Amino acid sequence: MDTLQLIVTARELLADPTPLKTDCGILCGAACCAPDEDGQGGVWLFPGEEALYRECGWAEIVNGDFAPMLLCRGTCPRGERPLACRFFPLSPCRNAAGQIAMRVDRRSRAMCPLSRSGRKAFDPAFAGTVRSAFRLMDREKTLRAFLDAWARKEAEFAQPFL
């Protein structure tokens, strides 16, 4: 599989699993989708993922310092949400053995009530699927480098592994 095929497969894996068995957006008013003061929210796209948004009528792509960003307005067709939205608020990292792992993204703590509760807060089916998606992508060179770059970015705010 090439890079985009792997991303599409990872997106499909994460099409249905959600952090809780019930809608966690009820807890917080879907805070992770809330637009900022400019009325927009930014989500980093994985390598090549922007190709899936060329005809997108509900968001636009801008250059980010780390990766292209999808700027949405707080709502989207669920089946079209970017990969990063599907694994939020988890984040890729490496464990001590160098294997791909995950942890709660510390950047989510300001908005996400689940992220303050640690691993116990998540549906195991969700966490397991996120792990599978990260492992799938970690097999491919470009995506492995991107996962590591993502982890380095997040490590500036590092917290213990899940």
Q: Closest separation between CB of residue 17 and ligand SF4, Å?
A: 12
From the list 2-10, 25-33, 90-98, 135-143, the region that binds ligand SF4 by CB under 6 A is 25-33
In whole angstroms, the minimum distance from the beta carbon of 141 to ligand SF4 comes to: 27
- Candidates 6, 7, 43, 147: give the one binding ligand SF4 (CB under 6 A): 43
Q: 10 Å Cβ neighbour count for 91?
A: 28
Residue 71 β-bridge partners: 42, 60
Binding residue (CB under 6 A) for ligand SF4 from 6, 7, 10, 32: 32
For the range 142-148, what are the long-range contacts, defined as Cβ-Cβ under 8 Å and sequence gap of 24 or more? 142/3, 142/47, 143/3, 143/6, 143/7, 143/46, 143/47, 144/100, 146/46, 146/47, 146/67, 147/92, 147/100, 148/94
- Count of residues interacting with ligand SF4 (CB under 6 A): 24
81 near ligand SF4 (CB under 6 A): yes
Q: Are 58 and 75 in contact (CB under 8 A)?
A: yes
Bridge partners of residue 100, in order along the sequence: 94
Q: How far is the CB of 143 from ligand SF4 (least distance, A)?
A: 20
Site residues, ligand SF4 (CB under 6 A): 19, 24-25, 27-28, 30-33, 41, 43, 72, 74-76, 81-82, 85, 88-89, 111-114
